[in-house]
């Protein structure tokens, strides 16, 4: 049983569903940050510049690099590539999303056991986990739609190293090369985690680049595919970050329109909250 705020008691399931409902309501509430319009204009400018630069890079790679690069990669099924096959799974959307979703479930299950400052700290943790989940989910879903619409053949589909092998609206896995789903996932995750914890930016960038390279080595994608996936992942994570910042969730907006993370629970506080949650 969990104590209600009015001094009575509520059952654990009731408290759990109440907290989940409150979390969803906070996420869907009307934007309230006074600087959200400034942040939106800044975001739009940045996205226009990034999209234009990467679009030019994608076209250049298609024309000048893709065919030559995939011709240099080892043949599919090469036994020595087993470490790369293990590495690439760390960028698989299903694995990443299920792992983050499981963490959200753990936070939700622990929340009704906490009260006062500990509950507030756990809500802060849950909000940040929720942001990471949506920052990956949104671009991944967009990428699945784009894959089917664009219909670009994977390397050597059709027998040759042809970077202009398209079958639009085919919705066929063999023609689902652009954008790379693994690159989308990895760069979205890297951006989301770095947005919350800037000190991890270098490590997350290295992770995302490693996943992108693994897709090239395994002949799953062309270079332009992974650049397209990286662009989609970052843009999607940026859009979700703006959504959270406009509602004062996990982020705030500075006077110049820059979005930055709100101070979160320290590691010492997280450990204390965890001890409170699992204590009998």
pLDDT tens-digit readout, 100-130 = 999 999 888 888 777 777 778 888 888 999 9
Q: Between helices 181-196 and 116-150, what is the axis angle to 10°?
A: 150
The predicted model gives 46-72 an average pLDDT of 88
Give percent of the chain with pLDDT exceeding 90.
51
Band of residue 144 on the pLDDT scale cut at 50, 70, 90? very high
Report CA dihedral (253, 262, 235, 134) to the nearest 10 degrees: -130
| Residue where the block lists tokens 């059952």 | 11
pLDDT of residue 7: 45
Kindly give the residue spans of alpha helices, DSSP state H, lying in 73-200. 82-88, 93-110, 116-150, 181-196
* Tokens at 134, concatenated: 């949506």
Q: Which residue has the higher pLDDT, 207 or 76?
A: 207
pTM flag (> 0.75): yes
In the three-class reduction of DSSP (H, G, I as helix; E, B as strand; rest coil), residue 262 is classed as coil
Q: Is the pLDDT of residue 4 over 90?
A: no
Of 19-23, 65-69, 153-157, least confident by mean pLDDT is 19-23
Q: Is the pLDDT of residue 274 over 80?
A: no
The 10s digit of each residue's pLDDT in 168-207 is 998 999 999 999 999 999 999 999 999 999 999 999 999 9
Cα(256)–Cα(38) distance, integer angstroms: 7
Question: Average pLDDT over the chain, rounded to whole?
Answer: 86
Cα(184)–Cα(210) distance, integer angstroms: 13
Dihedral angle sign, alpha carbons of residues 174, 179, 182, 183: positive
pLDDT of residue 10: 63
Band of residue 280 on the pLDDT scale cut at 50, 70, 90? low
């Amino acid at each position: 049983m969990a104590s209600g705020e009015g001094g009575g008691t509520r059952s654990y399931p009731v408290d759990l569903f109440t907290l989940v409902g409150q979390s969803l309501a906070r996420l869907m509430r009307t934007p309230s940050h006074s600087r959200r319009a400034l942040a939106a204009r800044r975001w739009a400018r940045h996205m226009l510049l990034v999209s234009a630069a990467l679009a030019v890079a994608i076209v250049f790679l298609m024309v000048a690099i893709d065919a030559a690069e995939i011709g240099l990669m080892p043949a599919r099924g090469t036994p020595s590539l087993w470490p790369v096959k293990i590495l690439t799974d760390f960028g698989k959307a299903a694995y990443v999303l299920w792992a983050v979703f499981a963490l959200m479930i753990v936070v939700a299950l622990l929340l009704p056991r906490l009260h006062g400052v500990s509950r507030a700290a756990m809500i802060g943790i849950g909000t940040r986990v929720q942001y990471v989940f949506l920052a990956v989910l949104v671009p991944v879903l967009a990428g699945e739609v784009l894959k089917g619409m664009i219909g670009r053949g994977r390397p050597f589909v059709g027998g040759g190293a042809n970077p202009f092998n398209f079958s639009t609206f085919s919705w066929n896995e063999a023609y689902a090369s652009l954008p790379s789903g693994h690159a989308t996932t990895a760069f979205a995750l890297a951006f989301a985690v770095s947005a919350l914890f800037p000190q991890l930016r270098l490590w997350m960038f290295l992770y995302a680049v490693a996943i992108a390279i693994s897709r090239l080595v395994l002949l799953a994608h062309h270079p332009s595919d992974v650049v397209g996936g990286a662009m989609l992942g970052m843009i999607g994570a940026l859009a979700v970050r703006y959504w959270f910042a406009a509602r004062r969730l996990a982020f705030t907006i500075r006077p110049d329109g820059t979005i930055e993370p709100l101070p979160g629970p320290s590691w010492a506080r997280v450990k204390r909250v965890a001890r409170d949650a699992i204590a009998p």
